[in-house]
Amino acid sequence: MGRIKDSFERARNQESKTLITYYVAGDNNLNFSKKVFLKLLSHADIIEIGVPFSDPMAEGSVIQRSHERALSSDITFSKILSLVKELRIHNQDKPIVLMGYMNNFLSQGENLFKKIKKAGVDGLIIVDLPYEESEFFYNKLKDIDLDLIRLISPTTPKKTIEKIVKFSSGFLYYVSFRGVTGAKLSNFKEVQDKVKYIKSKTKIPVVVGFGIKEGEIAQKMSKISDGVVVGSRLIDIIQQKNFRLNDSLNFLEKSLKTFKRDVRKK
Amino acid sequence: MANKTNNYNYPDKNGRFGSFGGRYVSETLISALEELESLYKKIKNDKKFQEELTNDLQTFVGRPSPLYFAKRWTDKLNGAKVFLKREDLNHTGAHKINNTVGQVLLAKKMGKKRIIAETGAGQHGVATAAVCARHGIECIIFMGSEDIERQAQNVYRMKLMGAEVCPVSSGTSTLKDAMNEAMRDWVSYIDDTHYIIGSVAGPHPYPMIVRDFNSIVGTELKKQSKILFGKYPDKIVACVGGGSNAMGIFYPFIKDKEVDLIGVEAAGSGLSSGKHAAPLSDGSPGVLHGMKTYLMQNSDGQILGTHSVSAGLDYPGVGPEHSFLKDMGRVHYEAATDKEALKAFHDLSRVEGIMPALETSHALAWVSKNAKKLKKSDIVVVNLSGRGDKDMQSVAKADGINF
């Protein structure tokens, strides 16, 4: 397990928490998203590449629209893997994680995981992977050194948390509230308690995602966890600039620098 | 197949029908699904619950529904004898209410204060609005903005019964997107909300629960056919979109191998046109809406848009148990085109004075095509799953008539 583990260690050495960013491959077209990912790679610690799906059940409206734009730009799974290969030419150190829905992965057939690994991906997040299939996936990915990153939510019972951490690697992704991506955080105390409990059960880093919209929340969350995931907010920023490339990238860079400062220990 | 049929006991403990079904949802929903499953298992055989349900089915829905001999249509078709299981006579006009009267009782037992549902043609939305009004529970219906336009009358019916109708304009703005949106709402208000899925689709335990509540149709048919014919029907025909009316009438007969079961999907403009809603006839297995099942999808796993003249069949997936029964060979699945369904709609209206729903008309179209090939002594029962009043606009449009 290379890059993901290293990235958490690197952050620790810099007295910082890990900044993870999410953006959708192919939004607003393949080349545009490549430029965004390159920017993310140079400022964030881990990048998640969203695999667009026609029916993204767990996403709020900002990321839904992002998936729709990507699909109408004719993005395909093989184009996403080529994109990762190109990103790897520019950056060999930072972890790249694919985040998507079961059906898109299933459609790729038997050799999928090997192809993903070969392209330079370090881990997978499958939003709708059911618990009873996680052991199978975990072992399959472990064989080829890919991490299976699992989600834990406020409604996950303690007993289930103990089961989930057994078949997870890389990091654990704590969903900060009951809702879809991009909605608003409601109960900080609950997040704090839950993350504390998860951390008592595993040595795997725990990051918090969903609802990380402003620096203040990013600061609070990174104090109680190993890092934060920012997604909808970044897409928002780019949308505000109407996908004009240079404006978007400049605005994005500014925002990433702020988030980076927010996750640093005070 | 013989062995599998004799021991038919699905779903298994993981909510699987063979390799189909399961629970492919985000982690936040898992505990609510587990709560629903364990409550359902506990009260399923509870005497008091069953009494309450039976009473509602009799006095609110109007059960049992009659088994009607379509004599003039039989004469016209000049083949097997055709009987209709009259689910169109239920309160709110379709089989959908069999499920909602049951699920609202489950919601009350779980102490949920708010009910959500998705709807395509609006029948499930109306059936949900009705039970919520009766029990005084807040009701929110998600409906594709395109369907809202196509089914304006049903939207108004829901509102009259106090439901809030939320337009969904993501994706294709139809049933599948309404279901996505309902799931998103459910994740957000999971603690006090129950989601009444309207078909034998979605994550476990929904395909099982919706099937069980609808199987009153098949259970009644067993009794009625023993009395009327002294035996079970030779063939039972039902239309399949998500597949709840079909599962409801098929399920009690699965172990009775002498009964042929035929499901009819929507072939739209024709299977070869690609413009249809027939995943079992022309799709492949995949994962959508929390279940593994046959889907209409491209090679990258993106779900395809569907087409059918009937909004209720306009869905790219199908209940997982149907996928299992297809691969097992126990149920035979075919498809009828828009044109064939419309013809059957007109035929039954003219000859029997019964206007069927356009969904149901697909099952009738199969009978029109095949009755002549069967023995005159054969008994065919069609699940007349709904009435066609809601479809006046669509039929008139197809006939080139403007109101």
The domain that contains A57 carries what CATH number? 3.20.20.70
Instruction: Indicate if ipTM > 0.90.
Output: yes
Range of the domain at A168: 3-264
Does A53 reach chain B within 8 Å, measured CB to CB? Answer: yes
Does A104 reach chain B within 8 Å, measured CB to CB? Answer: yes
Question: How does pLDDT run across B198-221, given as a tens digit for each residue?
Answer: 999 999 999 999 999 999 999 999
Closest chain A CA to residue B33: A155
Chain A: give the shortest CA distance to residue B294, in Å. 12
Find which of A18-27, B168-177, B387-396 is predicted with most confidence, using mean pLDDT. A18-27
Residues 6 or more apart in contact with residue B401 via CB below 8 angstroms:
none
Domain count, chain A: 1
Chain B: give the shortest CA distance to residue A178, in Å. 5
Q: Choose the mutation target among B289, B300, B315 for the interface with A, i.e. most A CBs under 10 Å.
A: B300
Inter-chain residue contact B297 with A107, CB threshold 8 Å: yes
Q: Pairing state of beta strands B16-17 and B20-24?
A: antiparallel
Rounded to whole angstroms, the Cα distance separating B222 from B316 reads 31
Question: How does pLDDT run across A92-147, given as a tens digit for each residue?
Answer: 999 999 999 999 999 998 899 999 999 999 999 999 998 878 888 999 999 999 99
* Percentage with pLDDT > 90 across chain B: 92
What is the pLDDT confidence band of residue B3, given thresholds at 50, 70 and 90? Answer: low
- Cα separations in angstroms, B261 against A36, A44, B257, B371: 54, 58, 9, 14
Is A110 among the catalytic positions? no
Does A61 reach chain B within 8 Å, measured CB to CB? Answer: yes
How many A×B Cβ pairs under 8 Å?
110
Q: What is the pTM of this model?
A: 0.96
Instruction: Point out the residue among B27, B32, B303 whose CB comes nearest to the CB of A55.
Output: B303
Task: Quote the pLDDT of residue B393.
Answer: 87
Instruction: Point out the residue among A56, A106, A128 whose CB comes nearest to the CB of B301.
Output: A106
Given a contact cutoff of 8 angstroms between Cβ atoms, the answer to whether B112 and B95 are in contact is: no
Which residues from chain A sit within 8 angstroms of residue B29, using beta carbons?
155
Which residues from chain A sit within 8 angstroms of residue B24, using beta carbons?
102, 128-130
What is the pLDDT confidence band of residue A2, given thresholds at 50, 70 and 90? Answer: confident
Does A135 reach chain B within 8 Å, measured CB to CB? Answer: no
Closest chain B CA to residue A132: B14
Question: How does pLDDT run across B264-295, given as a tens digit for each residue?
Answer: 999 999 999 999 999 999 999 999 999 999 99
Residues 6 or more apart in contact with residue A84 via CB below 8 angstroms:
A49, A96, A98, A119, A120, A121
What is the pLDDT confidence band of residue B2, given thresholds at 50, 70 and 90? Answer: low
DSSP conformation letters of A48-115: EEE---S--TT--HHHHHHHHHHHHTT--HHHHHHHHHHHHHH-SSS-EEEEE-HHHHHTT-TTHHHH
